[in-house]
């Protein structure tokens, strides 16, 4: 069986930073991640190229079984991951999770090009009644970007999971 999900682990004291690279499908194997003595467990999701429904199931099983002494922090969640969080309400397995940063789709009219912009949690006003997309400008031409999705839907994970609290 080919291994489609590569897991790179960097441990620093009681902090473990893990990069997931490739495809999260039903064959993804998280068993190599050792959480003994880990207090802060951080996952970088920027390099996930695919996540499918069996991948969601095995991910949810993994996260549900996380020991309680681990505080889970997600970084650079790709739009794929955010879409799964929005579509599938059990994506975080009822764990308390913080999202430090995530990507959101924007569009530059003058370049006629779509681009994913990294949004840091400080850029969101989580007290907004309806979540608004933060202002962003094009890295190529400097023009203001338009948000290229439905903000009330795309940012709904923030309130649903309380990930910025
Ligand atoms: Zn542009």
Mean pLDDT on 57-71: 93
pTM (2 decimals)? 0.93
Residue 2 has pLDDT above 90, yes or no: no
Q: Distance between CA atoms of 136 and 115, rounded to whole angstroms?
A: 11
Q: Where are the domains of the chain?
A: 5-104+151-161
Residues 6+ apart with CB under 8 A from 37: 14
Residue 115 alpha carbon to ligand 1 centre in Å: 9
How far apart, in whole angstroms, are the C-alpha atoms of residue 10 and residue 160?
Answer: 30
**Looking at residue 131, what is its pLDDT?**
87
20: its two tokens: 């997931």
- Report pLDDT for 1: 46
| pLDDT, position 129 | 83
Q: Near ion ligand 1, which residues have CB within 5 Å?
A: 108, 110-111, 138, 140-141, 143
Number of C-beta neighbours around residue 97 at 10 A: 20
β strands within the chain, DSSP E = 5-12, 15-24, 40-51, 71-75, 97-99, 101-108, 113-120, 146-147
Measured in Å, residue 142 CA sits from the centre of ligand 1 at 6
Residues 134/126, Cβ–Cβ less than 8 Å: no
| Average of per-residue pLDDT across 33-45 | 95
Could you tell me if 74 and 43 are in contact, meaning their C-beta atoms sit under 8 angstroms apart?
A: yes
Give me the mean pLDDT over the 88-95 stretch: 91
Classify domain 5-104+151-161 by CATH number. Answer: 3.30.750.24
pLDDT score at 9: 96
């Amino acid at each position: 069986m080919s291994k489609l999900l590569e897991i790179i682990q960097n441990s620093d004291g009681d902090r473990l930073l893990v990069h997931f690279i490739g495809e999260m499908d039903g064959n993804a194997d998280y068993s190599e991640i050792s959480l003994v003595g880990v207090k802060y467990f951080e996952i970088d999701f920027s390099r996930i190229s695919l996540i499918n429904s069996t991948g969601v199931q095995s991910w949810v099983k993994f996260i549900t079984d996380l020991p309680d002494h681990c505080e889970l922090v997600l970084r650079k969640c790709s739009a794929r991951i955010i879409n799964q969080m929005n579509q599938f309400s059990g994506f975080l397995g009822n764990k308390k999770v913080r999202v430090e940063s995530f990507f959101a789709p924007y569009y530059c009219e003058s370049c006629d090009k779509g681009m994913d912009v990294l949004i840091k949690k400080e850029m969101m006003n989580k007290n907004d009644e309806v979540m608004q997309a933060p202002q962003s400008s094009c890295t190529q031409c400097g023009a203001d970007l338009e948000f290229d999705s439905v903000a009330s839907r795309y940012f709904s994970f923030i309130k649903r999971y309380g990930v910025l609290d």
